[in-house]
Structure 1
Amino acid sequence: MLVPAPRNVRTTFAFFPPENSPAAWQASLETFTTALERAFPGAVLTHRVDPLRGLDVMDFDVEVAPDVWITGRAAMPEPDYAYVTAGNATADEAALFAQWLRDSYLPSPAVVWFNTSAAMENGMETPSPLPATGDSSEIEAFFRNHLASAGVE
């Protein structure tokens, strides 16, 4: 008997510091830009002002694996406010980016929280901590469980 493959839901994955420690990332758009350029040769980065919030943001497209691109946005205007999104991504695509963010950019693996737009649309508004350890396949499984618990996948 064949077991059907899980649906490959596309959604926006949002990453941010824990609510009780908003300055935990110690990040800025400048350091994030430099990190993306180093980690992802060929990254397409565009700085602009978000017209709704008046914040400096950076839109980016990065190749996280051969022929796997993540389109995202980052805003880090103050030490106590930061977010990064991976838009229209599947769990496996977002997991590759999340692992890089957690393991290569942020000061501690324990400071990454996330939610998805698909889960929020289904009423699951409480963010979850990203696992502090594990490779991208383990993060992917965690993301799939998150979506399933929100009734998405």
Structure 2
Amino acid sequence: MQKSFLVVVIAAFIGAFGIHQFAPAFSASIAFFAGAILAALLFVFLSGSPSKESTPYQGPMMTLYVGNLPYRVHEGEVKELFEQYGAVNSIRLVRDRKTGRRKGFGFVEMAEPGAKEALAKLNDFNFQERTIKVREAKTQDTADPENS
């Protein structure tokens, strides 16, 4: 989306410059307005086609627990790692409520076939100088039956 916006802004300026050069009778403001309209049409054309990232996976999902993550890791880096094995629906890295710092673990929700492969390949995998642990996440009612 950010790349498309940048393309539109550049197209607006180029369009305004071109219109002003080839039709000097137009004032600069009219040329810019015409360039902006052309750029808006370009933006609609660029964002109209659905990309691979915009169509979410619709099949069975599986949530994985990922432990021993580096504290400095970001959601995008974890997503990039797990996307090698299948469609990733969401990433949630857990933070301490008081400090806001990451706790070194999180959850990845992804397509079940890819999740099973990621579970097999990424458990005990060296990621950013840490050996991560990947397990199937337990639901809250099976995680601690005492608190039910």
TM-score by length of structure 1 reads 0.35
Work out which structure has the larger RCO, using CA pairs closer than 8 Å and 6 or more positions apart in sequence.
Answer: 1
TM-score by length of structure 2 reads 0.36
Structure 1 or 2: more strand by fraction: 1
**Whose Rg is larger?**
2
